Structure 1
Amino acid sequence: MSLPLNPPVKPMLARPVKKIPDSGGLLFEPKWDGFRCLVFRDGDELTLQSRSGKSLNRYFPEVIEQLKASLPERIVLDGELVVARDGHLDFDALSERIHPADSRVQLLAKETPAVFVAFDLLALGDESLVDEPTSGRRVRLEKLATEGIRLTPATTDADVARSWFELFEGAGLDGVIGKPLDEPYSPGKRIMFKYKHSRTADCVLAGLRWHIDGEPGEMVGSFQLGLFDEKGVLHHVGVVGSFPVTRRRELAEELKPLITEGEHPWLGDATVEGQRLPGGINRWRSTEQPWVPLRPERVVEVAYEHTEGGHPGRFRHTAQFLRWRPDREASSCGYTQLDEVARYDLDAVFRGEVVRLD
């Protein structure tokens, strides 16, 4: 390639902020729940670059075909790869696209096709735009809009951004991004702001993993969290894994009395079909991950952003420890406490329409 910017280029990043500000100076965009992707096109050569700098080309042949048919001959874009199902973003389906077998890749390209959503223009022709302010880059990006290029909606109105934050989650998006209007594109730097959903849930502590930097029984690496469904089945919903070293050692001693070799809802004959269990083999792991069963008696309150995987679901990211809940019975920790998000039309997101579905 012979572009003003050639891969790999580190994408500009965002730092978390709790509240969308009233003051001006920001361009707000929906935060897409997909794979960050930079697109480099130089004639017939096109590269999909991941956030880490690796090529995604072999996993998304349909996206390459689509972009070659719609993009200018020489261009560099920043954006997101997403998969939509039934008018809703589906991160599970997107993750399944990363598969070692070419036959599987080709099949999924037809069954769950991905699309590229553009939200920044870094170069066009022989011109680099990284030194241009966000406002100027956005204007240039909008001039490229065609039927074949999906552009993220954008606004400078904080009230509209707050409406997006509340409603667009129903289409599978997970917050709002704020870009300083006067800032250039700064690869690898946290120039932007991200406003993400945060919620709490009381979960059953049903297992743990020992920390890899210590001997078994010395330091806790992570908690294995569970929630009961409407049939009383305990499902593994995620982990908590961020503790100071001193606290990891304290937890190892504190939780030892709960370690059990007897009956457990995630072991042996107690398990049922469709139950989410910890440590299993999946497309990311070829071997089972060891974990230690605990009597499911203690309750921990955690913070989480959102869930995925349908019903029964799981936490999308690692949860954060908040506090113990000695006032709660483990049996009371069910999926019913999780927020139900109102459905929202994904196509309306692209149009920037703030209209809730019935």
Structure 2
Amino acid sequence: MNLPVAPPVAPMLAKAVKAMPSQDGTLFYEPKWDGFRCIVFRDGDEVYLGSRNERPFTRYFPELVEAVKRELPPRCVVDGEIVVIAGQSLDFDALQQRIHPAASRVRMLAEQTPASFIAFDLLATGSDDLMEEPFSARRARLEEALAGAGRSVRLTPVTQDERRAAEWFEMFEGAGLDGIVVKPGGLPYTPDKRVMFKVKHERTADCVVAGYREHKTGPIVGSMLLGLYSPDGRLHHVGVAASFPMKRREELVEELAPYRVGDSGEHPWAHWAEVAASDRQTGAMGGSGAAAGQRLPGAVSRWNAKKDLSFIPLRPELVVEVAYDHMEGERFRHTAQFRRWRPDREPKSCTYEQLERPVVFDLDDVLAR
């Protein structure tokens, strides 16, 4: 490739803030997309899809490579997000399935669950390196560059109206978006630096602690496995709580020891190991361990097939309150944050019914703005 900005480039990042930054006359507000961050490099028929960790996505999304050739300028570098749109909203589970080692499955999934690219920054076009230009200028050039785009490459909406951004924050969650990104208009493109701002939803839920995984450094708690009961009485794995200080990880081992299960066959997730073994034999990739309609905590990781996802089972008697940003299907999209133990709650009362569900919003309406 012969571009003014060459791959790999680490994307510019955002730091989390509790409240929406007030408009000072320079800020731009955008929806926060929930997908795979990607910087697209195109030089004629050469296309490179760079991931957040600067490794290529190119082989996993052949349909996007062709879309870039059809819908982006002949020579450009564009920052954005790869998403899978299902019906009216984003489908992150389907997007995760796209990372697969088998070329035949990559081709099949490209047809069954085609990805789209949501563009939100322009690093270069033609022979012009725009990284030192202010964001306000890059956004204007991006709108020009995407004037001929179609359905596979889309331009993210943007506003400088703080009140409208607050409306978007509440409204767009129903389409699968998880917050607002705020960009100072004078900001140059700064790779791998948290110079933007992001505001995300935060809610709390009471969950059953049904096990834990050990930390990579040794026999201390790495993450606690969380569960919620469905109406049919089955305990589903919905995510993990982690990010404990090292001293606290050591203390948790002693606190959880009385709840360890002697016979794992009595645990509600006992059959996850059979599912994991089957996945390994068939080459299936996934992290949910779903079987017979139940979410389980173990299977082959699609990111690292050698990663140990085994866990130490606990009697499902402890309840913990955790904070989370939003749900992806029936699980927490990101790692939940420990808030406090809830000895006053009965484990069986920890059901999906307590979760707040956002009003559904059509993704096409989001992009039309």
CA contact (8 A) 2:202 2:324 kept: yes
2:267 maps to what in 1?
A: 264
1:86 maps to what in 2?
A: 87
Summarize deviations over 1:105-124 as a string: whole Å, max 9, x none.
Answer: 11111111111111011111
1:18 partnered with 2:18:
yes
1:45 partnered with 2:46:
yes
Distance 1:333 1:71 in 2: 48
2:174 maps to what in 1?
A: 170
Distance 1:212 1:133 in 2: 42
2:286 maps to what in 1?
A: none
Q: How many residues align?
A: 345
- Aligned ranges for residues 246-261 of structure 1 at < 5 Å? 246-261=247-262
Query: Alpha-carbon deviation of 1:21?
Result: 2.5
1:100 partnered with 2:101:
yes
- Write the letter of the residue equivalent to 2:314: L
2:331 maps to what in 1?
A: 314
1:342 maps to what in 2?
A: 359
- Write the letter of the residue equivalent to 2:296: L
1:179 partnered with 2:179:
no
CA contact (8 A) 2:21 2:182 kept: no
Summarize deviations over 1:154-211 as a string: whole Å, max 9, x none.
Answer: 0011111111110111111111100001111111111110111111100001111222
1:304 partnered with 2:324:
yes
Query: Alpha-carbon deviation of 1:282?
Result: 4.8
CA contact (8 A) 2:23 2:161 kept: no
Q: Percent identity?
A: 59
- Write the letter of the residue equivalent to 1:316: R
Distance 1:63 1:255 in 2: 47
- Write the letter of the residue equivalent to 1:265: P
Summarize deviations over 1:316-340 as a string: whole Å, max 9, x none.
Answer: 1111100001111111000011111
- Write the letter of the residue equivalent to 2:10: K
Distance 1:301 1:22 in 2: 31
Summarize deviations over 1:67-103 as a string: whole Å, max 9, x none.
Answer: 1012211111111111100121001111111111111
Any unmatched runs of 5+ in structure 2? Answer: 275-290
TM-score normalised by length of structure 1: 0.93
CA 1:76 to 1:286, structure 2 compared with 1: closer, same or farther past 3 Å?
A: closer
Distance 1:341 1:74 in 2: 40
Query: Alpha-carbon deviation of 1:146?
Result: 2.1
1:159 partnered with 2:160:
no
Query: Alpha-carbon deviation of 1:56?
Result: 1.1
Query: Alpha-carbon deviation of 1:6?
Result: 0.3
Summarize deviations over 1:237-282 as a string: whole Å, max 9, x none.
Answer: 111121111111111111111112242211259x982211122235
Counterpart among 166, 189, 196 of residue 192 in structure 1: 196
TM-score normalised by length of structure 2: 0.90
Counterpart among 292, 314, 317 of residue 294 in structure 1: 314
Distance 1:201 1:86 in 2: 28
Distance 1:238 1:350 in 2: 30
Which segment is superposed worse, 228-237 or 280-289? 280-289
1:355 maps to what in 2?
A: none
- Write the letter of the residue equivalent to 1:146: G
CA 1:268 to 1:47, structure 2 compared with 1: closer, same or farther past 3 Å?
A: closer
1:283 partnered with 2:302:
yes
Counterpart among 317, 321, 342 of residue 325 in structure 1: 342
- Write the letter of the residue equivalent to 1:23: Q
Query: Alpha-carbon deviation of 1:23?
Result: 2.7
Distance 2:302 2:48 in 1: 24
- Aligned ranges for residues 130-145 of structure 1 at < 5 Å? 130-144=131-145, 145=147
Distance 2:292 2:72 in 1: 47
Any unmatched runs of 5+ in structure 1? Answer: 353-358
Please report the RMSD computed on the Cα atoms of aligned residues, expressed in angstroms: 1.6
- Write the letter of the residue equivalent to 2:354: Q
Distance 2:214 2:63 in 1: 42
Which SS does the other structure have where 1:68 is aligned? helix
Distance 1:234 1:258 in 2: 17
- Write the letter of the residue equivalent to 2:181: I
